[in-house]
Amino acid sequence: MAIVIETFPVYPLGCNCSIVSCEETKEAIIVDPGGDENKILQYVSENNLKVKQIIHTHAHFDHCLGTSNVAKHIPGSKIRLHKDDLELYDHLDIQCRAFGIHYDMDEVKPIDDFLEDTEILSLGKSSNMEVIHTPGHSPGSVCFSIQSSEYRILFSGDTLFAGSIGRTDLWGGDYTSIIKSIKTRLMHLDDDTVIIPGHGEKSVIYNEKKYNPYIN
Ligand SMILES: [Zn+2]
Ligand SMILES: [Zn+2]
């Protein structure tokens, strides 16, 4: 049984949005719908997906600006986030203003349910996804890990990038915490785990262990 992962960068800051679905049941999870909601909704309808959850690696605006519009068109989908980033989600207007991005606050839908550290999210019959709380880039930053015999994938948000790590100078960011999160929660994953970060190119755990200057 297979899972299908579609990843593409979305407006306005090129956040990698992923749509993860079970080939058999068509159940799906959307990760970080930062924008381009029409493109996301088109993929969902073209593939007949049943989106159960819309989840976020964190609540910076570039990972959430498409959330409300996507959720509005997919009845029954739950918007989920770690509770430590709720304050950021509740202040998307301030975030957008700080970055000079226009956004209409009337459209923001509330979070339905908080993501918990070590929680397992079901992906139809194919696989499971574990929530890993990795504070540092923001207080409620999380990563999502799929570890099975067939798949080893990590959605690392803005915590870990190919050859770099997330910035810690934004609201609630903390350098000591991000380093601790990466070293204690991510580096034990299998070397061949494919990393799909919040921005930019993919990597694998082995390369980051070996070459990422922030980890060595
Ligand atoms: Zn961020
Ligand atoms: Zn980002």
Between the CA of 140 and the centroid of ligand 2 the distance, in Å, is 13
- What are 20-40's pLDDT values in tens digits? 999 999 999 999 999 999 999
192 pLDDT above the threshold of 90: yes
Helix, strand, coil percentages for the chain (3-state, nearest 5): 25, 30, 40
Between the CA of 1 and the centroid of ligand 1 the distance, in Å, is 33
Confidence of residue 176 (pLDDT cuts 50, 70, 90): very high
> Which residue from 84, 101, 104 is spatially nearest to 171, judged by alpha carbons?
84
Residue 102 confidence (pLDDT): 83
Residue 120 confidence (pLDDT): 97
Token readout for 151 is: 């798949």
Between the CA of 63 and the centroid of ligand 1 the distance, in Å, is 7
Between the CA of 106 and the centroid of ligand 2 the distance, in Å, is 23
> Which residue from 1, 2, 69, 60 is spatially nearest to 30, judged by alpha carbons?
69
Between the CA of 58 and the centroid of ligand 1 the distance, in Å, is 7
Q: Which ligand is nearest to the CA of 58?
A: 1
Residue 1 confidence (pLDDT): 67
Between the CA of 198 and the centroid of ligand 1 the distance, in Å, is 8
The DSSP bridge partners found for residue 30 are: 19, 54
Between the CA of 206 and the centroid of ligand 1 the distance, in Å, is 23
Between the CA of 61 and the centroid of ligand 1 the distance, in Å, is 8
Strand pairing class (203-204; 194-197): antiparallel
Between the CA of 33 and the centroid of ligand 2 the distance, in Å, is 11
φ/ψ region of 144 (left if φ > 0, alpha if ψ in -120 to 50, else beta) reads: beta
Mean pLDDT, the chain, integer? 95
Between the CA of 60 and the centroid of ligand 1 the distance, in Å, is 5
Degrees, nearest 5: CA angle 166-120-208: 30
Q: Which ligand is nearest to the CA of 95?
A: 1
Q: Which ligand is nearest to the CA of 63?
A: 2
Residue 7 confidence (pLDDT): 98
Write down the domain spans for the chain.
3-211
Q: Which ligand is nearest to the CA of 170?
A: 1
Give me the sheet containing 142-147, strands edge to edge: 120-123, 127-133, 142-147, 152-157, 194-197, 203-204
CATH of domain 3-211: 3.60.15.10
- What are 68-114's pLDDT values in tens digits? 999 999 999 999 999 999 999 999 999 999 999 887 656 789 999 99
Between the CA of 48 and the centroid of ligand 1 the distance, in Å, is 30
Between the CA of 170 and the centroid of ligand 2 the distance, in Å, is 11
